[in-house]
Structures are given as C-alpha cells and as structure tokens.
Structure 1
C-alpha cells in the first residue's frame, strides 16, 4: 500500500496504527518509555520483530529420547522470550512449574532483530540461531561454555531428575509444537514432561458407585469392580466397532470413573485399569488396585498464550506424531 501513493505512505507511518496492531495481535502493553529508550517505533517493532517471528510463539516440547522439557515462547515487553519449563520437584502438587529464560529476541540499535542465548555458565547473552520447519523448532548455539555446566549447578536449578538426562546440551536442541487439547467424551490426561510417559484415559460415561466410600476399604472388591467394568467397556467397544455407533452421553452426578493408565519407558508399554476420583475442578486422583497405589494430580495454573490448535484435527495429529500409535489404543 505504501507504494501506491504518497498519501498512503504517510498513513502507514502513523505509529498509532501499529501500536494498535501490536496490542491486538500480540498483546503488547503500552510502553512509550521503552520505545524512546530503544529509539524505535511500534511500526518497526511490528514489522521487524513481532510479525516475522509470529510462528515461534506458543508451547514446544523437547523432541528427544529421555527427559522431556517444555519451551514457552511469548511476547515480553518489546521483545520475545523463550522460557524453559520443568515441573517443580519436592513441592506440593499445586506448586507452580519452574522456569528460566532460554533465549530472547530483540531489536538492536540498527533496528534489526537478533536472537540472544541466555543459557550457559556465565549467563552473558550471546548469539543463538533459531529455525522453524512446520511443527519443528531448532535452536542452535555454538558457545562452548554451555557444555561446562557443573552438575552441582544443574541440580540446584532443576533438581536431580534433570541431571539424570545425559542429553542435556544447550548448543543444539529440537522441539515439537504443542497445542492445548480439544475436549470430548473421553478425557485424557497426558504427561508431557519427565523421563517416562504416561496417559490416563478417563471414561466419563463409566461411573463407579462408591457406596459411601466403603468400596475403597476393600482392595479385592475394588479390583473386581474395575475388572468387570473393563470387560464391559471392551465388549461395548467391540460392539460399537461392529455397529458403527458411538458412546452414549453420561448423566453426571457421580465423582468416580473408570480409567486406564498407559505408560511407556524404554520402549516397553503397560496398561493399568483403575478408578479416577474427581475431587474438585483442580484435583483428581487415580487408584491402581493391582499395584495398590494412588496418584494425585493438580491442574497446572500457568497461563500460556498462542497454544490453541488451528483446527479440531490439528491436536490429534500432533499427538500421533509425537508418540507411537500403540500407546493410545490400550
């Protein structure tokens, strides 16, 4: 438009237009003081920083065997910051996730965008290279002091679980994009960080009568109920495949459901049927009668932007690409 005529060119240099675009598209807050400090304009921030790097915003998962960590990339003031997220160790289930900056994209005095690595032993910003191909993000840094991080500092920052992964290197990492799931009749809880991989599939249409809580005092009786419900679910699934029908909707009221935990570690897969207990909107538990174990889950309270799937098909396709198909069909 700026090449059409002089008037259009003047209009496109009105900074309030670009300030609105930065705010509505990327959530940039008013910060005129920072603009004056950097000596730039909202037009330059939009055209040279935000718009060219819009595809990097969102949530990413480290694509490697072993430990899985998250990378959250978001607009941060007049820049873009990538944050490494890991679960907090030795804290209450409601504790927030632990995070630290991995890199930052900012405008220089010459009005060009640069990627600064913020990891390493000395924490001095230095150059980092980012590359996106479809759903993959590659981060590469050639600074060698990343490989000299002491085991003590790593344990202090992220805990001993992270230290177990010998693939922890900052100089080159590849991530897969993650989307928040769409909701359906069968809820799935998926572990996306850590060394092992777990899925808890909750059959929302399969309520379990608790008999006032008495059933939880008899493990044998609880195992029998879970086993019978599992056989019933299997029969109905086979019938639905033959008839081409779907599950009927549940009728609410009860807080316990039939569920199946699927886990993988080093290529091995196991399935454990059990009971899912919904305590409130932020907490649920899983009882595994076979191993006589109980797991408590808390909802992550962190807020992530730009993590919605582009379509209802995008989320299942993403999950299919990340993990083997056989994990999702117990």
Structure 2
C-alpha cells in the first residue's frame, strides 16, 4: 500500500508513548477499526456503569449499540479517521479528528442528555427552502445524532443510489452536556444550534456562518456547489434555460446558510392490495433535473407528492394522480410509436372520466380520498364503468405480481425523455393526470397522461400535453422513525405540506 493512500492513527498510550499506526481510510471496516483502536489504546480497562436493564430497550428503540465502547467506534465514518486521545491530544495532519473521552460516560447520560432530549427530531423531515424542499433524515449514529440531507443522483441517472451529506450533528463532548455542530460548508464542524419548536417541527441555526465561505468567493462556492449538485461545470450545460434555473437555485438556497426550519414527513402506509409498495422515488423533471417524489395509495387512486420541487411545481404539491379504475391497454408496438394514436386513446378515457364525474355529481367516491387537491383535477368516477380505452374493473383489479411477463413498450416518436435507458417492457398502464404550471406556480392545471408500471421499483409518466416522459426509480434506503402513527396522521401530513406549498 502506497504512503499516499494511507492515513495514520496517532494513539497516545497510558504511559505517554505515542504509536503511529498506518491504516487505509477507505478499506478499513468499522469492525477492523474497532480492533485496531482496541489494540492501539493498550491495556487500560474501561469501566462502564450500566444504567439498568432498561438500556437494552433504549438501545433497540434508538438503533444504538449495546456497548458504549462500541458506540464510540461505530460513530466513525469510513472517510474520517478518528483518534481517541487520552493525554495529550495529538493530530495526524488533515485527518485529525478528536473524540471526547468516554471512559466515565454512563448509559443514563447517553439517554437523558442525548437520546431523550433530542428524541423529537429523529426521523424524516422536509426543510422549508421555498419551492425546492428537500429530504432530511435524522438518525442516531453511535454517540452522535446526525442530520443527513438526502440528494438525488446526478441527472439523468435515476437508477443510481441517493447521495447524502451531513448538515448538523449532536454529541456528548462532556458528561451531561450535548454539543450541536453545523456541518455545512467545507471547513469542518463548527458551532450550531438546534431548537425543537414542537413535536413535528424544529429549526437549525449556524452560529459561525463564516465557515461556509470559501477563499475564492462566490464564484468558487458556485463552482463547488455545481459539481456537487449536478456533477458537471456550467460550461458542460449548453441549454441556456437550464443554466438560468441552476443559477437561480444556487442563489436562493445558499442564502439560508443552514438556518432552516424542518417539518416532519412520514412514509406512506402500505396495504396488501396496493399496486406496488409505496414509498420514495427519484424522478426526472426535464431541465429541473432529478426530484424526489412520494408515491402513496388512497383507495382507487395513487398520488405522487413532491418532496423536492422547483419554481414551476414546488415541493409539497401533488405532481401526478393515477386513476387505478381506468386501465389503459396500449396498442401494438408499431402503433404505440404514433403519438396521435396514444393521444386518441388517452383523450377517450379522459372524456369517459369527465362524463362519469358529472353523473355522480362530484369527484369523490363513497370510500373518500381523505383530502382534495386545490388544483383543478380530473378525479376518477364513483363507480367502475367499462368503456373504450380501459380494461374495466376486472383488469384494474388484477394484481401486478400476477400480470404475466408484461408487454413491449416504447415511447411514441416526438416524446422527449431525459433518460433513454428506460425499460422496454411494462406490466400495465393507467390513466392519470399531471400537474403543470408556469414559473412561480402560476396558472396551475392538471393535464392528461399515462402512468406506466414497469416493475416493483420503477414506473413512468407520459405527459401528453408536454410530449415528455418522466422515469421514476425507487429510493433504496431504510429509514427509521419514519412510519406514520396512523393513516389519518399521514393524510394530515400530506395536507399540511401541500398547504404550505400553495
């Protein structure tokens, strides 16, 4: 292993002797790091005072380890090498990270000063950043509570894993004292503040915003942000409108300086008869790049709610609505290439839906949808009726897992897609509506489209009026403390985030 590929742990032993231990920062696992540090620290015994049998339940609830010694190690990320320094404090070049001495830490201190005090901020949150929103996941990681901002992969690679970066962390620097640090910027942790406003809302504040500035000024900050956000330079983006949108987002979001208010969001409840498992998806939105959408099921409807958004359709708005009682049977593959043929089929279904709504005197069915979108919406009928272009109740009720091998699928000529690597077979299609609007969410309207189910983890939506196609791929991540306490609580959450976006 080359010297340049190595980092060094400088660990001060009890006798004052310092040992230089070479490790590869990317390849040493958490378990091996634990063994390494155990060997390097020496024979000094660490005595921990147990807080009673209740600790096991606390550890399980918050997702922490059984042993405080292990807690210390598991808080170490693969990209940061931490050296536990007893006396004196030592450093290893740019890899210096100082952990507090947890020798005399008690379980009850961890619970009362960290876990219990900040229990209300664990889970998923949406920051109030104007139309852009976001997805924050606050978790217990060793003896730290860390707020991770989840970011979509770079456009248009919708199947790539999510990216994430830390915005803040809370840990015990001294016994019975928790420290909040802002992680925003590129100059390391610095003083921050977390205020729990109420159970489902909290705010963060950076007390040293000068740490967010870069020596090259705003131009360097913008170039760095662009590489992180889009994975490219401005010269690589030839579309002038896209350049304007990117610059606008940078100016708008950077002004907050990590001083944000967060509101709790829940993952949608799941039912055995759902078309697919609900959850979070990454979707392509043209010049706006990739955005995060929450797919949820409401009786005979499915809804896609934006968790991140853009100046046209802000976060919190319902981007697509799928009518699960109006299945669309696609024509053969050659006919499907003809946009006019697909448009004819979809518009026939839209007219049928409109007539059924008029007959029933309203868009809501007997089951109820829990809430109504404030935008004009083509909602489904109260009773199922067969007609041209849809498969009737029998087809709509067909479970997706038992719908055979699927059918060939291709986008009609003239329909644009950010990602040409979309699946070429689909399970089934349904009539739906998509929300479009002008800049600043002006003149919003719902337009007809086609919901295309590819598999358990991918679906698409053809925006008929825009002649555009969005591809969505499931967010493959496990989130703790994110389940709604009841279906009513989830519906109320959707209503709240949409009202804030209106």
TM-score (norm 2): 0.58
What SS does structure 2 have at the residue aligned with 1:180?
coil
Q: What's the CA shift for 1:255? A: 0.6
Contact kept? 1:86, 1:193, Cα under 8 Å: no
Instruction: Give the SS at the match of 2:448.
Output: strand
Answering whether residue 127 of structure 2 is matched by residue 62 of structure 1, we say yes
Change (3 A) 1:263 1:305: farther
Partner residue in 2 for 1:191: 306
Deviations 1:265-304 (A, max 9, x none): 4122132211111111111111223332222111111221
Residue 178 of structure 1 deviates from its aligned partner by: 1.0
Could you tell me how far apart the structure 2 residues matched to 1:283 and 1:260 are? Answer: 18
Specify every segment of 5 or more residues in structure 1 that has no aligned partner in the other structure, as ranges: 1-12
Q: Counterpart in 2 of 1:41? A: 106
Distance 2:144 2:365 in 1: 51
The equivalent of 1:20 in structure 2 is 56
Aligned length: 315
Measure how far apart 1:146 and its partner are.
4.7
* Counterpart-to-counterpart distance in 1, 2:358 and 2:366: 10
TM-superposition CA deviations, 1:218-258 (whole Å, max 9, x none): 21121121112112222323444469635456321461111
**Deviation of 1:60 (Å):** 1.0
Q: 1:96 aligns with which of 161, 172, 176?
A: 161
Matches of 1:58 and 1:293 in 2, distance apart? 34
SS of the residue 2:430 aligns to: strand
> What is the CA–CA distance in structure 2 between the aligned matches of 1:314 and 1:209, rounded to whole Å?
36
Q: After alignment, is 151-160 or 251-260 more displaced? A: 151-160
Q: 1:102 and 1:256, CA in 2 relative to 1: closer, same or farther beyond 3 A?
A: same
Residue 251 (structure 1) aligned to one of 397, 403, 419 = 397
- RMSD over aligned CA atoms reads 2.7
1:309 aligns with 2:345: no
- Whole-Å Cα distance in 1 between the matches of residues 258 and 211 of structure 2? 7
Secondary structure of 2:262's counterpart equals: strand
In 2: Cα distance, 1:233 partner to 1:278 partner: 21
Q: Relative contact order, CA 8 A, sep 6+: which one is greater?
A: 1
Residue 266 (structure 2) pairs with residue 179 (structure 1): yes
Cross-structure match for 1:6:
none
Equivalents in 1 of 2:482, 2:228: separation in Å? 26
Which residue among 81, 84, 90 is the counterpart of 2:146?
81
Alignment pair present for 1:129 and 2:198: no
Partner of 1:294: 469
What corresponds to 2:338 in structure 1? 218
Q: Secondary structure at the match of 2:174?
A: coil
| Contact 2:144/2:170 (8 A) holds in 1 | yes
In the superposition, the TM-score normalised over structure 1's length comes to 0.85
Determine the structure 2 residue equivalent to 1:7. Answer: none
Gaps of 5+ in 2: 1-48, 73-100, 215-220, 235-244, 270-296, 368-381, 385-392, 404-426
Q: Could you tell me whether the CA contact under 8 Å between 1:120 and 1:145 is conserved in 2?
A: no
